[in-house]
Amino acid sequence: MDTNTIHFIAKSSGLTDEDLATVRVAQEPGYSWVQVYQLGNSERAFKVLSDQLRNYARAREEGHTRAFLLAALTNRAAPSTIVDGDLRAIATNRALLPVSWLKKAESGTRTNKAGQVVSHKVSTTFVNGRTVTNETTHIPQVEEVCRWVSYTLVDGEIAWRYFVQFKADGALDYIHDSKYDAKEYDPKYQKMIKDVEDEVRGEMKRDGSFGRFGSVHTFWHLKKEKLRVRGVEWRSPSEVNPNTNYD
């Protein structure tokens, strides 16, 4: 509900003060969410601001800082102007993401074997008031070599890893992102974290628990405790990705 933030978002979206006067943003008493109301007949500001505020709120809930999002709005570039195809794919599918913050981490290829099921997708649509389920299974006739690339982005106490998978013809397949404690990418802590991971891995291999189903949680627990003894508070992937299940 910060007025300056709302005006900044509106201005970055090409809305004028006159446009902004055709909408009202208000918080409902007793609720944590806000509503955008249209005043008059013009729908432009209502549609633009509704979408942008929804994107902003979602990004803040995911852990992004206000400074990050304001930078994203300020430096937002049209995907068509981005020369790097990998970055262009991310920018096209992640509206509030300043590509200048992304750092390339790794890249490689994955081979889809001929005759094996590569993907199975289920989608639903409404046709004449009825729900229609569509299933698509991809089984390549010949081997397919598909390229992938990953990027990292650090924003405050959280780091994002973006994994971009392409199809054999070069088209985007999907983008998967996950969050990590930003200390994982901080040079100040990297050696300590590696030493602790080696120590935990050694202990778990000796007691036979390493590599078992669900053992990653034991690994993270021991890592967290050993880092805490060293004066470092670290959050595991399960803590920063509460809606993700790990085994």
**Whether the Cβ atoms of residue 215 and residue 209 lie closer than 8 Å to each other:** yes
Q: Tell me which of 119 and 1 has the higher pLDDT.
A: 119
For residue 74, count CB atoms less than 10 angstroms from its CB and return exposed for 0-12, middle for 13-18, buried for 19 or more: exposed
CA angle 242, 246, 247 (to 5 degrees): 155
Residue with tokens 């902004």: 20
Q: Tell me which of 172 and 99 has the higher pLDDT.
A: 172
pLDDT single digits (tens) 66-81 = 888 888 877 777 788 8
pLDDT single digits (tens) 108-132 = 999 988 888 877 778 787 777 788 8
Q: Tell me which of 166 and 128 has the higher pLDDT.
A: 166
Q: Tell me which of 27 and 105 has the higher pLDDT.
A: 105
Most confident of 37-46, 62-71, 159-168: 159-168
**Whether the Cβ atoms of residue 5 and residue 34 lie closer than 8 Å to each other:** no
